[in-house]
Amino acid sequence: ITVMTDAVFKDILEIVRTPYQLSGNATAAPLGNGHINQTVLVRDGKQLLVAQKINTLVFRNPGALVHNARTIESHLEYKKEAPGIIRHLPGKDGSYLHGPDRDVRVLEYINGSRSIEVLDSPVQARELAYSFARFSRALSDLDTGRLVSVIPDFHNPSMRYRHFLDALQIATAARTTACHSEVKFVCRTEPLLDEWHSLLKSLPVRICHNDCKISNILFSELDNQVLAVIDLDTTMPGSLITDFGDMVRTCCNPEVEDSRVLERVIVRPDVFEALTEGYKKGLKGIIQAQEISSLVSGALMVCFVQGVRFLTDFLAGDRYYQVDYSLHNLDRARNQFQLFRSLQAQESELKDICLLKV
Ligand code: GN1
Ligand code: MG
């Protein structure tokens, strides 16, 4: 899918100008590096807002996103231990979706916040994991039926594998050749998918964030304090181990997700330990022994499945994730598979770390 151009973000600005009563001086600039929605920071004098065009190929029903977000907002409002979130803001007519396709929304912006792509201290890992844990804890008494499952089977590894096989059928010869060894690797590793699938079915269903990547936490500009958990679009029933897996995937890697410096792509055990500490502390009394002993499996599964998803999109011709160049999804897949191998190599040490007392 296309990357954000000048025209796209000016378009978004025009759509929100009237409903949010912006002046003629308002400007918009790209914000963050999400792969799916298009996000801009709108500045109008001192006022700052986040405006976002929802990708309706991925999120077919933007109304469901707004419904879920508002349900979560009102549930968290009176919870003392809940982490901060950013709220959806209605336009002057009270509606949350704008533009001819009703796919543009506005969220609040938190002053003095920053997001990070690569973790530079284990302290950040502990704080981040603690915040995602408190998010699930605060939602643990929300009836799962209150949230729409916006993408069913989101973390179902067997479904992801089937999509990969489908993409292999339709891929061009050039693309299939370019990723020949990655395809072989996926097929060789396939037996693990059934194991993970059964594991997921044996674990409690809980409301999870489902996109616990490092950049979905806003830190203070000044220190490592967490100001908010963001991107609630995939918050729906799921399993804690896949949330934890996404934290490992994006925090333990000293390189960004699309780095080609594969010899530097390894799981940092000190960061892993900080994640387990923060996560178990934030979910104390809720997380069960079976979930704790499955955290490493969750990390293995998420890294592998994420690699499969990038590879699938490469084979399918880059339809799902935004790419900056033609091999971008393949580079991402290689990076994730390397991280998966590093996890496998350290599996028993990491399992021991999970069992340490907090
Ligand atoms: C996507 O929305 P964004 O860019 O944070 C994706 C996640 C992937 C992630 C990979 C709805 O997240 O599942 O883990 O990219 N979201 C969806 O970085 O598919
Ligand atoms: Mg997301």
pLDDT along the chain (358 residues), means of 10: 77 97 96 94 97 97 98 94 96 97 98 95 97 97 95 95 98 98 98 96 97 98 97 97 98 98 98 98 97 98 98 98 97 98 98 93
Strand order in the sheet with 27-30: 27-30, 38-44, 47-53, 104-108
Read off the DSSP letter of residue 101: T
Measured from the CB, is residue 58 less than 6 Å from ligand 1? yes
Q: Is 224 helix (H, G, I), strand (E, B) or coil?
A: coil
R_g over Cα of the chain:
20
Q: What is the pLDDT of residue 346?
A: 98
Q: What is the pTM of this model?
A: 0.97
Ligand 1 atom at minimal distance to the Cα of residue 58: 11
Contact, 319 vs 1, CB < 8 A? yes
Ligand nearest to the CA of 321: 1
Q: Which residues surround ligand 2, an ion (CB under 5 A)?
A: 211, 231
Measured from the CB, is residue 335 less than 6 Å from ligand 1? no
Distance 258 CA to ligand 1 centre (A): 13
Distance 175 CA to ligand 1 centre (A): 22
Q: How many Å apart are CA 275 and CA 348, to the nearest integer? A: 17
Measured from the CB, is residue 35 less than 6 Å from ligand 1? yes
Structure tokens, 179: 């990723």
Measured from the CB, is residue 243 less than 6 Å from ligand 1? no
Distance 34 CA to ligand 1 centre (A): 7
Q: What is the pLDDT of residue 2?
A: 58
- Residue nearest atom 3 of ligand 1, based on CA coordinates: 34
